[in-house]
Amino acid sequence: MRTALGGIFGMTTLLADEAIDPTQRRHVEALRGATETLARLLDDVIDLARLDRDGFAIEMRPFSAADLIAGLVELERPRAAARGLTLVATIAPDVPVSLLGDGVRVRQVLANLVGNAIKFTERSGIAIDVAVAARGRTQTTLGFAVTDTGPGIPAEEAATLFARFRQGEGGRRRGGAGLGLWISRTLVERMGGEIAVAPAPGGGSRLHFTVPFGRAAVEPQDHARRAPGALASLNLLLAEDNEINRMFLATILERAGHRVDVVATGAQAVAMARWTVYDAILMDLNMPVTCRSSMGLRRRAQSARSAMRAAGRRSSRSPLMPCRAIASAASPPA
């Protein structure tokens, strides 16, 4: 289902970039919005099934709160801008550079809160704040807050806001299953924290949570962020067995100025990599393996993904980009 949704979203994204008339653009944006809603519903249902079955494993890894927030803002700001909203983030100067905890789950909770804030806010914008809530000898507790300028949450709804399958009137109008905030509460509590809602000064809502973190013995790797358009043109190989995903990904990469060779199987990817030097290979990790060499290529991709996760650089839960970049053996890492 994620693959199909990714294909729909990808093709509507490409269509929205074409020269279409205003009526067609409204139709495309409506289709893209409906696809986003369905994708979030699917993610919530999958998370619910995991929590009911065996729960989430909380992984303790070094990560940078600054990198986490910067990545989240970079991902969500275009959605906010599409609704005429601003999205800003503030991190207190005394927040430790390196933390030990599950940065992936913290980002998931924040993404849920920010996504809801964008959905329910009609004017002004959303603010993310991170500050030290408590400091001990071995732990630092951070407080995270997402504040919006929306209509606010009535007291009778606030009491059950984080309950399972509970929605306010606004949620029923805008779609959803009433699971996102319950999942957020469950994740926060499993990390040893608390989550709550309060009225925001001047109107709107402020959803805030705390999570205790350990002190990281190893600093997270410093990944310099490139400005948009600063990345040099690359020679890429894309291995993807889904035709729609191939079309979407290849078009996006070519529009960004890269040269892209496209193949549909792991065996074809191995053959191309033997004769051509690529700066990077993009490979679908779920693609069927048809030979020993393609199995080795996939194992390298999986190892690269594990290294990215260890460095706190896991991508979003969005199903739209099923590939992971790995460096070609014949060229320096991209």
Tell which of 165, 184, 215 closes a domain.
215
- Residues 223 and 67: beta-carbon distance below 8 Å: yes
Residue 225 lies in a domain: no
CB-based burial, 262-276: b 16+ in 10 Å, e otherwise: bbbbbbbbbebbeee
- The CATH number linked to 277 is 3.40.50.2300
Judge if 118 and 205 occupy the same domain. yes
In this predicted structure, what is the pLDDT of residue 332? 32
Judge if 1 and 115 occupy the same domain. no
Exposed/middle/buried for residue 65 (C-beta within 10 Å: 0-12, 13-18, 19+): buried
Judge if 244 and 280 occupy the same domain. yes
In this predicted structure, what is the pLDDT of residue 67? 92
Residue 6 lies in a domain: yes
When pLDDT is cut at 50, 70 and 90, the band that residue 128 belongs to is very high
Judge if 26 and 63 occupy the same domain. no
Domain count, the chain: 3
In this predicted structure, what is the pLDDT of residue 225? 47
When pLDDT is cut at 50, 70 and 90, the band that residue 44 belongs to is low
Tell which of 215, 250, 267 closes a domain.
215
Alpha-carbon distance of 38 to 322, in angstroms, equals 17
**How is residue 67 written in tokens?**
């990198």
Distances 224 to 138, 237, 250 between C-alpha atoms, Å: 29, 24, 25
Judge if 166 and 132 occupy the same domain. yes
Judge if 64 and 195 occupy the same domain. yes
**Who contacts 290 (Cβ-Cβ below 8 Å, separation ≥6)?**
265, 266, 267
Residue 226 lies in a domain: no
The three-state secondary structure class of 7 is helix
Name the pTM for this structure. Answer: 0.63
Tens-digit pLDDT profile for residues 260-274: 999 888 788 888 888
| Mean predicted confidence (pLDDT) in 219-242 | 67
Tens-digit pLDDT profile for residues 188-201: 998 999 999 888 77
**Who contacts 34 (Cβ-Cβ below 8 Å, separation ≥6)?**
none
* Domain carrying residue 25: 1-55
Judge if 208 and 137 occupy the same domain. yes
Average pLDDT, the chain: 76
In this predicted structure, what is the pLDDT of residue 165? 61
Residue 101 lies in a domain: yes
- The CATH number linked to 138 is 3.30.565.10
In this predicted structure, what is the pLDDT of residue 274? 84
Tens-digit pLDDT profile for residues 289-318: 555 555 555 555 555 555 445 444 444 332
Residue 130 lies in a domain: yes
Judge if 159 and 264 occupy the same domain. no
From the list 109, 256, 71, 81, the residue with the least C-alpha distance to 194 is 109
- Residue 253 φ then ψ, to 5°: -70, -40
Judge if 279 and 267 occupy the same domain. yes
Judge if 35 and 95 occupy the same domain. no
Alpha-carbon distance of 38 to 15, in angstroms, equals 19
In this predicted structure, what is the pLDDT of residue 300? 58
Judge if 70 and 203 occupy the same domain. yes
| Mean predicted confidence (pLDDT) in 244-270 | 87
In this predicted structure, what is the pLDDT of residue 193? 94
Tens-digit pLDDT profile for residues 28-40: 877 777 777 677 7
Tell which of 180, 215, 250 closes a domain.
215
Residue 222 lies in a domain: no
Judge if 137 and 86 occupy the same domain. yes
When pLDDT is cut at 50, 70 and 90, the band that residue 169 belongs to is low
Alpha-carbon distance of 113 to 95, in angstroms, equals 21
- Going by their DSSP bridges, the two strands 86-91 and 61-63 should be labelled as unpaired
